[in-house]
Structures are given as structure tokens and as C-alpha cells.
Structure 1
Amino acid sequence: MSSKKNKVNLSQYVKEFSYNIKLAYPVILGMLGHTLIGIVDNFMVGKLGSTELAAVSLGNSFIFIAMSIGIGFSTAITPLIAEADAEKDNQKIRTTFHHGLLLCTILGFVLFVVTVLSKQVMYIMQQPKEVADLAAPYIDWVAFSMIPVIMYQGYKQFADGLSKTKYSMYAILLANVVHIFFNYVLIYGIWIFPKLGILGAALGTVLSRIMMVVFMHYLMKRNADLKKYFKNFSFKEIKKSILKKIINLGMPSAMQMLFEVTLFTAAIWLSGSLGKNSQAANQIALILASSTFMVALGLSVTAMIRVSNTKGLNDFKQLIVVARSIFILAILLEIFFAILFVIFHQVLPHFFLNMSDASQLVDNNEIIAITSKLLLIAAIFQISDGIQVVVLGALRGLQDVKIPMYITFVAYWVVGFPISYYLGKYTELKAVGIWIGLLAGLTIAALFLYIRFARLTKKLAMQQHQS
């Protein structure tokens, strides 16, 4: 009898999988498109020399931190839109979109100014002077691209909230085409274009991000169902109460993302202090783990949309089923990736290294040895990472952001970073020790975020049952 009941229970989750995947896959492809912009920069700039590559890498670490704040903040728009969509309240959708886009534009300008002003940190951190001098103008230009990027996020989160996740995928793919073209002609000076080196890479990024917003705006404005939301924007309609509601949801979400991104940035800097081979191994393992993390991130957006929808319908019993179906799907997919990492942990590093260069043989062998160990930890850690990010998406869908912000801060910076620092600096584990700290932080976050979600939804379901 109990096995039959379990089968019924499991089947109610499994039948949600196809819709979850349908919503998630455009988000995943869009995220990979964002990553591709960075990969193209590294690949094309790498041909100029190691100093230029180091400058772009250093510059992008500043941009990445600023961008995480903007992206985290913008996620406040999705649950509000998705809830209003379930309630079929077009006025609420329109108002949230206009207020959210205004706040994203203002935040883009703020992040641009703050990033440009923070350049001096490179010199305080005692980065090599020739690298920092090259990185400074690169940062100025790419920081300017914060404005269109965060505006794009306003459009994206609006579209996601209406379960129209394909628009951002199309915009990113088109932006990548623009980016590859302008990067190529401006870095190397092809045809009528000047040879600008890494400044060319920065300008290519700026132009592609401006086009990303333009593509997104026109793709959505041409849709018959969405046209009504784009008409008659007026500053007279802006209300302090709605701005406050979005800010109250957006700021804790921005902090959650900042805590995680700065933890990983700290891991990169810690690895760098152990030597270039440890840093290279850390970078390879991080690229591989980040690629599989995109799948969990896509499911996190799906959780945010679907939980908000069911919250708008006041169906908390179905909300729990929907959320659990996404959690189970994320765990299954991350376990599959974990198995791949374990099987190929000694093979994968070879793809990132020039194995035909005899002068690099000793370094390459050391990098492969370190990376293969890191990938074994990454196999376990991505399961924790996948769980914490999908549960975080579900909690955002419930518009519960403050307690999760405290949970992520404690998990990453009170537990994770001290372990990474101690094991990396003061034991023989070195780079492996840094990753054990990351694993500990992510596992604590996953556990306590899930406890938070389970308690909250149980309470909401009981209240609904009693009423």
C-alpha cells in the first residue's frame, strides 16, 4: 500500500517535469549566451598576449561583482509580475514593469559610477602595475555597459514573470553575433576599423549590450499580447509605495547574489596567492562547474515563476507540489553532472591546456593533477549549489527574501570563507582546501534554505486549510 502511495506521490512531481524544462531551457541558453560573451573576450584577447588577458580577467572581476548586484536586484520584478499574471491583473503587471524598469535604469547608472570609482582598488590590492594600467580604461568602458545590461534585466524579468522566457534567449543570441563581429574587427583592426586591442574588446561588449536592450524592446513590443504594456509611460504614474515594494524585495536579493559572487571571487584571489598553477586549476574547475550551474539557475527562474503563479492563485497545496518537482528535477540533473565529473575528472582539464607545447609540460601536469582533485569536490558541491539556488528561486517566488539573505551571508562568509582561507593557506590541501570551504558554505546554505521553505509552505498550507 505504501509503495503504491509513494508511486502516486512521485508521479505527481514527474508530470510537472516537461513544463519545468519548457520554461527553463531558454533561460539556460540565455545564461550560456552571457557566459559566451566572456569566453569570446578571453579567446580573442588571449591572442594579444598574457598581460592583456590578465588585464581583461582583472577588469571583469570588478564588472562581475557590480553585475551580480544589478541582476540580483532585478529578480524582484519576476515574482510580482508572475503573481499579477495569475491574478489576471493587467494594470498591476504594467505598473510593476514600468516601476521595475525605471529602478533598473537608475541602478545601472549608479553601478557604472561606483565601478569606475572603484578602479583604485586594483592598485591597493598590489596587482602588477602593467596589468592594472591596461585594465583601467577597459573597466571604464565595460562599466558603462552596466546601464544597458541592468535595463535589459528589467525587460527580461518582466518577460520571465509572464512565463515568456524565450525573449531573453533570442536577445542574447543576437547580442552574441554583434559582440563577435565588433570584437573581431576592433581588437585586430580589420577592414576600415582601427586596431584598439583590449579597448576593442570593451567597445564590442558595450555595443553588444546596447543592442541586447534594443532587440529585447522591439521583440516584445511587436508581440500583440505585450503591446499594451509598452504604451504611455509617464513619470506622473510613478508611485513611491510601488518603488518601495520593489526595493524591499530587490535589495535583499541583490545582497544574496553579492555574497555568493564575492565568495567565488575571493576563492579566485586566494588561489592566485598560492601560485599560477593553482589559479589556472581553479579557473578550469570553475568554468566547468559554472557551465553545469547554468542548468540549476534556469530551474531557479522556473521555480520563481511557477511558485509566484500558484501564490497568485492562492493554491498552496499545488505550490508545494510544483516547487518539489523542480527541486527533484534539479537534484537528478546535478547528480547526472556529478557522475560525469567523477568519470572524466582526469580527462576534462586537457581541453583547456596546450598539451603539444613541451615547455609547458611540467606546469600542465601540475595543473591537471590539481584540477582533477577539484573536479571530484565540484561533483559533490554542484549538487549543494543546485539545491540552494532552486530553493532560493522558490523563496523569491514567495517574496521571502530577508531571512534567506541572512542564511546565505552566514553560510558563505561565517562558515564557507573561513574554512577556505584556513585550509587553503595553512594546510597542505591548498587549492583543494579552498574548494572544501566552498562546498561547506553551499551545503549549509542548501540545508537551511530548504528548512526555511518547508516551514513557510507548511504554515501557508495549514492557514489555507483552516480557512
Structure 2
Amino acid sequence: MFKEYTKEFRYNIKLSVPVIMGMLGHTFVQLADNIMVGQLGTAELAAVSLGNSFVFIAMSLGIGFSTAITPLVAEADGAGEKKNAKSALKHGLFLCTILGITLFGVVFLAKPLMYSMKQSDEVVALAMPYLNLVAFSLIPLVIFQAFKQFSDGLSQTKYPMYATIIGNVINIILNYLLIFGTFGFPKMGIVGAAIGTLVSRVIMIVYIWFLLKSKEKFRGYVTNFNFRVIEKKVIKKMISLGFPSALQMFFEVAIFTAAIWLSGVLGKNAQAANQIALNLSSMTFMFGMGLGVAAMIRVGNQKGLQNFKELRRIGQSIFFLTLLLEIVFAILFLVCRNWFPTLYLDLDDAFNLADNTEVVALAAKLLLVAAFFQISDGVQVVVLGALRGLQDVKIPTLITFVAYWIIGFPVSFYLGLYTSFKSTGIWIGLLTGLTASGIMLYIRFNYLTKKLISTSEA
């Protein structure tokens, strides 16, 4: 029985590894940012956390919306309709550009909210100039996502990976030069980290477009766009897929952002500990995200072929692979929970020793909870990818809202602010929401695929 699923592991891994590497690249840069910024002090680390909390919400909407491109391209590719695949990219680029500019505007106008969020004055003052530049970098990021999702839809997941690696290397180099002012560059602190982010995201767009244009089989897709001809039917289809997908990602990212804000109410050390645990959890989450993209591509292909039995089998094989992988990560977090946080802070710094020691102890407790939600988080994002491949987005959007905001957030809020659990209570709420999401989404996939098979056999 297991062989039916395990025989798909090799191809699923081959398809998902470039996506995982690209996403890990983004998270690795955040890790490098946090480690470098952490050397400046806990206030600077908390400021980056606060600034990024605004950007992550906007980013979730942009990235979530762009995922509408992948199932449309995958279905067109499965059915051999190249014209439809190019149309999905053109209209996706058009919508992603508008969305990127809009998100920048919203974040820029929302900045004053930081003053009314009961955050430390020192942290807010540091976060303001950082947020200006990182918010502007949303425009190139969302445009890059359009190219990435298109390339993923054609099962060419390695090209976005190359672009991401190039961008990340540039980001880390610029961060090192500009945060600390090395080799004669100005010492700009966390603003230097923001400049590195902006420049690297612009370079990523240029590089992926050049890469696809240089390949004969992709040149026709990425050149000679006529943006004066925009089809309402395609725009409507993309919005009907993209908007719910954006909300799905928003609901999840927003609850993690709420955890950042709730931690900020508990103090700068609680917020810094939350940032460390969140950054480490994000790295393992990228494996689930990559496998979720593989599920979206493969399910989309089978939908184009109208082969629903194979679609269900392939989907379940990816779920099984994800479950095994996330159990390994859970064990890793349990074993290394006291050591991982020490990578972020200078424990030899006598001036900040008390703060740094407290942050490490708090982060270790959060990683104990994170060990268990690895499994829920990985499974729910992969099942969500499979449902997007089926172009089923409306009910999953409702499921994610209920799981995170009706079930998870109240637990976080109550345990975090009104019990002795404090930071750990906030993360117990996250675990509750993710587990509810994973269970309900799997029930939805199970129901839909059985229904499709019985309808096709009737």
C-alpha cells in the first residue's frame, strides 16, 4: 500500500527542492539579517521584527494573490495550450504590478499605527526609517512573484531558485557592508539592512526575466507582451482565484503578526524571543511551502488531463512525504531548542548579558511548542497547495479564517496576556489554529477528490 505513495517521492522531491531552496534563501537572508542586527542590540532586533510585521502582512497578500498564476499555467501546460499559459503570465504581471504599488501605499500610510500599539518608544523610533524602504521593496517582490509562479506552473522550479540565490547573496553582502559600515561604507544600522533588501529584490526581477528570455523554449512566453489588450475574462478568473488565495495566506501570516504585537506588549525581550523562534520556524516551514507548490503543480497538471484518481494518489503521496519530513524537524527542535537561540545573540556582551540571557530562555520555551506545530503547519500548507491546484479556493479561505481567527487567536490572546503562560501561551494558540486548519483542509481535499472520481466514473 505504502509503495503507491512512496514511488512518487523522488519526482516530488525533484520538483520541490528548487522551490524550497529559493524560499530557504529568503529565510536565510532574514536569519542573516537577524543575526547581524542582533549584534547591535535587542532594541534593534525588536525594531526589525516590528517593521517586518507590517511588511509581512502586505507580502502575504501579494504572494498569495500571485499563486493564482501557477494552477492556470499548470492546467494549460497539462492540456498543451501555450497561448493560455502566456496569457496567464501577462495578466498576472499586470495585476501584480498594480497590487505591489497598492500594498506599498497602504503600508506607508499605516506607519503611524505603530505609535498606538503599546510598543516601546525606542523600538518604534528605530523601526520607522527601516519600514519606509522595506515597504517600497514590496513592488519588485510582487512583480518577481508573477515570474516565479509562472515558471513554477511550467514545472521549471529551478529558474526562480537561481534568481533568489543571486538576490540573497547580494542582500547579505550589502547588509554586511551597510549595517556595520565595513570597507569604508557608511554605518547605517538597520536602515542598511533595508537597502540591501530593496536592491536585491530589483536584481531578482531583472535576472529571472533575462534567464527565461535566454532559453529558446521560454522566450515566446516572456517577450512581446501587449498590455494594451487586457481581457476582462482572464482578469476576472485570476482575481477569483487570486483574491481568496491572498486571504488564505493573509489569515495565517496575520495571526503570526498578531503574535509579534502581543509579544511586544509583554516587552522587548519577549518580542525578541518571538522573533528568534519565528525565524527558525519559518526556515522549516519553507520545506512545507515548497512541497505545497509541488502539490499545486502536479494536481493542476492532472486536472488538465482530467485524471482524478491519479490526482488523488499524487496529492496523498505529497501529504505523506510532508508528514515524515515535519516529524524529523519536530525532533530537531526538541533536541536543539536551548542551543538555537544562542546563535542570534552575543552572550559575551557584558552590557546586555541580562537581556540576552532572558531572550535565550524565552525562545527555548517557544521552540518547545514550535516543535509540535511543525507537523500541523507543514501538512496544512501542502493540502492548501493541492486545493489550489484543483482551483478550489473559496471554502479553504473560510476554513483558514475559522482555524486561525475563531479558534487560534482567542487562545493566543487569552493565554498570552491573562495567564502565567505569557509568550508560551501565545504560541500554544498558534499550534491550536494550525492543527485545526490542517484537519479541516484535509477533510475538504478528501471530499472533493472522491466526488470528482465518482462523477467522472458515472
Scaled by the length of structure 2, what TM-score is found?
0.95
Give the letter for the 2:413 counterpart: Y
Q: Which residue of 2 aligns with 1:183?
A: 175
Q: Which amino acid aligns with 2:152?
A: D
CA deviations 1:379-404 (Å, max 9, x no partner) are 22111111110000000000011110
Which sits farther off after the overlay, 180-189 or 397-406? 180-189
What code does the residue aligned with 2:32 have? Answer: V
Structure 1: gaps of 5 or more residues:
1-8
* Corresponding residue of 1:302: 294
Give, in angstroms, the shift of residue 230 of structure 1.
2.1
- Residues 260-299 of structure 1 mapped to structure 2, 5 A cutoff: 260-299=252-291
Partner of residue 452, structure 2: 460
Partner of residue 233 from structure 2, selected from 230, 241, 246: 241
Q: What residue in structure 2 maps to residue 97 of structure 1?
A: 89
**Partner amino acid, structure 1, of 2:443:** I
Matches within 5 A, 1:23-422: 23-190=15-182, 193-357=185-349, 363=355, 366-422=358-414
> Shift in Å at residue 145 of structure 1?
1.1
Number of aligned residue pairs: give it. Answer: 458
Is 1:441 matched with 2:433?
yes
On the 8 A contact 2:78/2:305 being kept in 1, the answer is yes
Q: Deviations over 1:146-193 (max 9, x none)?
A: 111000000000000000001111001111222223333344445575
Aligned to 1:346, the other structure's residue is in SS state coil
Q: Which moved more, 1:133-142 or 1:442-451?
A: 133-142
**Cα deviation per residue 1:105-144 (whole Å; 9 max; x = unaligned)?**
1111111111111111111224344433333232222211
Distance apart, 1:369 and its partner CA: 4.2
In the alignment, structure 2 segments of 5+ residues that lack a partner are none
Distance 1:34 1:315, change over 3 A: same
Match of 2:11 among 14, 19, 39: 19
The amino acid of 1:77's aligned partner reads: I
Does the aligned pair in 1 maintain the 2:409–2:429 contact within 8 Å? yes
Pick the structure with greater CA Rg: 1
CA shift, 1:365, in A, is 5.2
Measured in 1, the distance between the counterparts of 2:24 and 2:30 equals 10
AA in 1 matched with 2:251 = F
Alignment partners' CA distance in 1, 2:394 and 2:448: 13
Partner SS for 1:400: coil
Q: 1:143 and 1:109 mapped to 2: Cα distance?
A: 10
> What is the letter of the counterpart of residue 111 of structure 1?
L
Cα RMSD (Å): 2.0
- Greater RCO, CA 8 A, separation 6+: 2
